[in-house]
Chains A and B, each alone.
Chain A
Amino acid sequence: MIHVENLTKHYKDICAVDQINFDIHKGEILGLLGPNGAGKTTTLRMLTGFLRPTAGNIRVKDFTIEENPLEIKKLLGYLPESAPLYHDMIVYDYLDFVANIREIDRNEKLKRIKYLADLCGLNDVMHQPIGELSKGFKQRVGLAHAMMSDPEILVLDEPTSGLDPNQIIEIREIIKRIGKEKTVILSTHILSEVEAACDRVVIIKQGKIIADGSMETLKQSVNRKNRINILLLNSDYESVKKELGSIAGVEEVQMETNNEGVLQASVICRSSADLRGDIYRKIKETEWILIELYQETQTLENIFRELTTEN
């Protein structure tokens, strides 16, 4: 659907995006992640034809951004970062303007605007100037703007910023619903959002792609040893270390804290094998009282931190 090849953008002497390559397939929800200033917004701006790449190619379906920018713009719906809309315009007038520019049929137009107003919860603010709306409502107007022409590809730059938790869930639901038939690219720095909504994650750092894949592959790619935390009563560190250290596959037993008879220890496994059962069985043989046992899960947060902070 979208093919990006060696995409590069220089701002004067700063290199914002450095030769990135990726493909996006139809019906995929792609999350673009990265620290501030990584080049997420620049990438999306080039994709939507707002900025011209310094080098490289973007192809959407059979169109290239160099030769058919207008055709690509017709296929795309774009919500820029923080939804910069016309402040003097009334919401309805604005949506009407977008519908006109998008060449929506006169008879369809009102229906479409109504549908989007329902979808994005705009019915109460249709006759207010956009400048007077709260940030969350502006964001919703921006979303309605992006979906006006029922585009095949939806590009959303931080779609949920400034929204309250209920709205975030609503917008996520909308994105998921749209993502069943359409291609969605969203950039965000909220990791849980990516986990909740995206099929695939691309992590960018300093203009380069440092990870690209589904959540599962990303979790596997980061070679982290499993860590099992336990809380024990009626035990002492020395014997815990000796007993648990004898289990096959355990690399190390670390003691975290030991107060009021509660011993907190973590067992670090040599591989990513699950040793929880073995540890439980071992503890059962002793007099120790087990009050907690859990394996640290590989969250996207961990992966993100690991990938973006290492040199």
Chain B
Amino acid sequence: MRQVVHIFSKEFKGYFVTPIAYIVISIFLIVTGWFFFSTFFLFNQASLRNFFDLLPLTFSFIVPAVTMRLFSEELNVGSYEILLTLPVTYRDVILGKFTAAVAFVAAMLAPTLAYPICISFLGKLDWGPVAGGYIGAIFLGASYAAVGLLASSLTRNQIIAFIIGTAICISLTLIDKMLFFLPRTLLPFLEYLGADFHFQNISKGIIDSRDLLYFLSVIFISLYGAHLAMQEKN
């Protein structure tokens, strides 16, 4: 378990020694800030609803960009060999990298806490959905980070890793919005697969174990997939 901590701290610091972290965070804040505040005063409501509505879609692009280098870069440079010949297990490596990515997503979300604080001065803000929204955002970010990690473990090319990650994340986001041409019996099942559906539940302020279970399953399946991909490589 201590190895996970060492890998985590190395990966997390790694984000901030290159300019990528600052670029990604800036883009995220500009995009979400713009879309949120451009309509905020039209609705005339003191809520973060619009911000959380958009989050699954922005995360689908941003989170795979954060995770794409985790394995691909190591495979490409060859440092993967160095990492695996240190006394670590696959599990240590995957968990270390995954938690670093989740911590990065959290660091990216942290500045947006300024929004509810500002809004609370403008009107009466209900803090329940805000807390739910942030908890949901962490789970959503963690799920997408796990998906991105899986994509990164499949290829040595970071761009391909990004595209695979984004494709899966967008599918998870939009799957429950494309159901109008499908038979009715499939609806509940496909709806359950949609990340957006579960995220919106949590962001209403209702923390339901089914939604948490969904996110934890996505995380577990993706990380297990990455584990298999690592095993396949030797």
Contact = CB atoms under 8 A, between A and B. Distances in A.
A191 interface: no
B78 A82 contact: yes
B2 interface: yes
Interface string B57-91: 00000000000000000000111111011111100
Given A80-B85, A88-B17, A88-B18, 4 more contacts: A45-B81, A49-B84, A80-B81, A102-B87
In this complex, the member of A45, A50, A145 whose beta carbon has the largest number of chain B beta carbons within 10 angstroms is A50
Contacts of B18: 88
A51 B17 CA distance: 31
Interface string A73-95: 11010101010111111100100
Interface string A92-128: 0100011011110000000000000000000000000
Interface residues of B, number: 22
Interface string B77-109: 111111011111100000000000000000000
A48 B78 CA distance: 15
Task: Give the most central of B2, B10, B78: most A CB within 10 Å.
Answer: B10
Nearest to B80: A84
A81 to B, nearest CB: 8
22 contacts: A50-B234, A52-B234, A70-B87, A73-B87, A80-B81, A80-B82, A84-B78, A84-B81, A85-B82, A86-B14, A88-B17, A88-B18, A89-B14, A89-B17, A93-B13, A98-B86, A101-B3, A101-B86, A101-B88, A102-B86, A103-B87, A145-B82
B6 interface: yes
Q: How large is the interface on A (under 10, 10 to 19, 20 to 34, 35 or more residues)?
A: 20 to 34
Contacts, number: 62
Nearest to A82: B78
Contact of B6 (A86, A89, A101): A101
A101 B88 CA distance: 8
B10 A97 contact: yes
A98 B163 CA distance: 32
Nearest to B7: A101
Task: Give 7 closest A-B pairs by Cβ, nearest first.
Answer: A84-B78, A73-B87, A100-B6, A52-B234, A78-B85, A48-B85, A74-B87
B147 to A, nearest CB: 24
Interface-centre pick from B17, B81, B87, B234 (highest chain A CB count, 10 A): B87
Interface in A264-278: none
Interface of A: 45, 48-52, 70, 73-74, 76, 78, 80, 82, 84-90, 93, 97-98, 100-103, 145
Given A80-B78, A85-B79, A97 B85 contact: no
Contacts of B3: 101
Contact of A70 (B14, B17, B78, B89): B89
A101 B77 CA distance: 20
Contacts of B17: 88-90
Nearest to B92: A101
Quick one: which of A49, A82, A145 has the most chain B CB within 10 A?
Answer: A49
Contacts of A88: 14, 17-18
Most B CB contacts (10 A, CB to CB) among A48, A49, A86, A93 go to: A86
Interface in B174-205: none
Contacts of A98: 86
Interface centre among B2, B14, B79, B88 (most CB of A within 10 A): B79
A76 B81 CA distance: 14
Contacts of B82: 78, 80, 84-85, 145
B17 to A, nearest CB: 5
B14 to A, nearest CB: 6
